[in-house]
Structure 1
Amino acid sequence: MKIEVAQNTGTQQTCSNAQSEDVPHKPLVAGELRTKFNMFRYGRYESRMKAPMVQPGNPNVDGNFVSTMFVFRDASFKHWREIDVEVTGRAPGAISTNILTADYQAKWKPSMQETDYPISYQHMNVRSEFHDYAFEWLPGVIRWFVDGKLVREKHNDRLKVPDKSAKIMMNLWIYRAMRPRVVFGGTHLENDRFPMQSEYDWFRFYKWDGDNMYPPADMSSKALTEDDMYLTSNNPCDGIPQIGEVLKYGQKLKPCVATCR
């Protein structure tokens, strides 16, 4: 699989079905993979991935991008849950691991995140070579691995390890901060050349034997709870009704309506 980010020369509907809110026109457009439902939980998640070169043929040029493999739930509005592997444009070996957890939080804030940068940047180039990324998500503990090596272990402490099911996601995005110095994803936004691509050789999920609920044995949504189905539609073409109100800044808002095209 290749995910590409490019200059946005087209027009899109303002309604983001996945976020259930109106989004203004963006200068860039990119692809994303999402599983249909919040039906994955404890187990091992693995991907073999190569991050983008911000300039063709030169993997040593630093820029700005975030290339990912992660689990995510609820479009931020009800139960914001994430366990992330993020490869960024900060340096040739820039890899970070994240956990985010919050309830009824519409926008990110530092207190809902714990991030670690475990890799020595000198010994690998994530843009010129494929590398294996994995995390094991179990009750009360998450372990992250790079090329089979354990690089981080997180237990229940300031932030609790998520216990709710989630979607599997992979995407590529550029962080354009409204300030001179861009920090997240890399400080050299001026070096980016588009289009740029991240590549995925494979992805694997191994269910933990101790989880009797997720994913359901028949891999259907029939056994999922009402809470699992909250705002679960990813796009207006997937045939899944968008159920639930958007809870934002103390208000209950109806989901925006996008049409399949």
Structure 2
Amino acid sequence: MHATKTIAIVTLASAALAACATVDQTDPNAASTTPAEPVSEPVVEAPVATDPAFFVDWTQQAMDGRWFISEHNTPNGHWESDWRRRNVRALPNGLNIQMTSKSPGANEWPWSGGEIQTRRAHSYGEYQVIMRAAEGAGLIGGFFTHTGPYYGNPHDQIDVTFTGKDPYQVQFNALADSVDVGVMNYPLDFDVSKNFALYSFIWAPDRITWYVNGEFAHEVSNENVVIPQTPGKLFANLYQARNKGWAGQPDFLEGATATYRCMSYRPLEDTSSRTCADAYESYVTGG
């Protein structure tokens, strides 16, 4: 598939939906996910304004004030790892989120992963990431929007999720007020832990559409499910899951790493701001 086609598909999809919405947002500040990522609970920050379009080249940029890095234990819930800032590093090859072992204290796990989240919320629009998932069963990685009761909101979420036991698929899911729209296990012809790829979704008031490398992958609409409406923060993370049926029995190695090269967001009516699709050739195909 040619990179030009990739850019055209995603851009045209955005333009087709652009008439549907304007962007109004409030804020949250916390953790991971449900069926496709559970939710952890760091310190709550005061709500801040919503975020405009952004483009981040992680091979050229360190962490800045847009991002919050989780640092807390998860003794209860869906995790068998804690969150540590030291596992999140911006390096010349991109943003690296690692799983590392540690000597556990009280209410701690012997493993720690990493998680970043935007400080501001995002609403309808086009979300893109170019990344390579971590290798190894037992691990879950994600790129997703999230808000919930922890922020005084309904649990709304949109997921792109990688399960370590299934490296030839990506999971898509969404929740609207905690109601699951249904997990879609989308088969791939490449190993997500060995190849960089462009994953994206377009969130409109009446539908969510997911793409892989610019090609249509999955869509849900308000004709048969409830579409999330509440703005949420954008997350990326890596953790060991308690649900072994979902993630697999752990066989990952010390230092297993998910690498992110690009992240972007632009509101639904914005068809001109730069997106990760614009960097497809250099980041994915090597062109």
> Normalized against structure 1, the TM-score is what?
0.62
Q: Aligned in 2, Cα 1:75/1:67: closer, same or farther, shift over 3 Å?
A: farther
Percent identity reads 21
What is the one-letter code of the residue matched to 1:116? M
SS in 1 for 2:191: coil
Shift of 1:11: 4.8
Residue correspondences, number: 175
1:136 paired residue among 202, 220, 223: 202
> Within 2, Cα distance between the matches of 1:129 and 1:69?
16
Shift of 1:28: 1.8
**In the alignment, what sits opposite 2:249?**
188
The question of whether the paired residues in 1 share the 8 Å contact of 2:97 and 2:258 is answered with yes
**In the alignment, what sits opposite 1:147?**
213
> Within 2, Cα distance between the matches of 1:9 and 1:35?
29
1:5 aligns with 2:99: yes
Shift of 1:125: 1.1
SS in 2 for 1:66: strand
Q: What value does the CA root-mean-square deviation take over the aligned residues?
A: 2.1
Instruction: Give the number of the structure whose alpha-carbon radius of gyration is greater.
Output: 1
1:96 paired residue among 168, 171, 179: 171
> Within 2, Cα distance between the matches of 1:92 and 1:162?
28
1:46 paired residue among 119, 128, 147: 128
**In the alignment, what sits opposite 2:142?**
68
SS in 1 for 2:225: coil
Stretches of 4+ aligned residues off by more than 4 angstroms:
75-78
**In the alignment, what sits opposite 1:198?**
258
Shift of 1:10: 5.5
**In the alignment, what sits opposite 1:242?**
none
> Within 1, Cα distance between the matches of 2:103 and 2:169?
30
2:119 paired residue among 11, 36, 56: 36
1:118-157 CA-to-partner distances (Å, cap 9, x unmatched) read: 224xx21111110110000011100000111110011014
1:170 aligns with 2:236: yes
> Within 2, Cα distance between the matches of 1:49 and 1:113?
25
Unaligned runs of 5+ in 2: 1-94, 271-287
What is the one-letter code of the residue matched to 1:40? H
> Within 1, Cα distance between the matches of 2:115 and 2:166?
23
The question of whether the paired residues in 1 share the 8 Å contact of 2:124 and 2:204 is answered with yes
What is the one-letter code of the residue matched to 1:188? Q
Unaligned runs of 5+ in 1: 13-23, 55-62, 104-110, 211-261
Q: Aligned in 2, Cα 1:207/1:196: closer, same or farther, shift over 3 Å?
A: same
What is the one-letter code of the residue matched to 1:114? G
1:26 aligns with 2:109: yes
More helix by share: 2
SS in 2 for 1:128: coil
> Within 2, Cα distance between the matches of 1:168 and 1:205?
9
The question of whether the paired residues in 2 share the 8 Å contact of 1:50 and 1:129 is answered with yes
Shift of 1:66: 1.3
Shift of 1:9: 2.3
The question of whether the paired residues in 2 share the 8 Å contact of 1:119 and 1:151 is answered with no
1:61-86 CA-to-partner distances (Å, cap 9, x unmatched) read: xx121111110003667411110000
1:165-219 CA-to-partner distances (Å, cap 9, x unmatched) read: 1101000111124xxxx2112x232x22222110000101111128xxxxxxxxx
SS in 1 for 2:167: coil
Shift of 1:7: 1.6
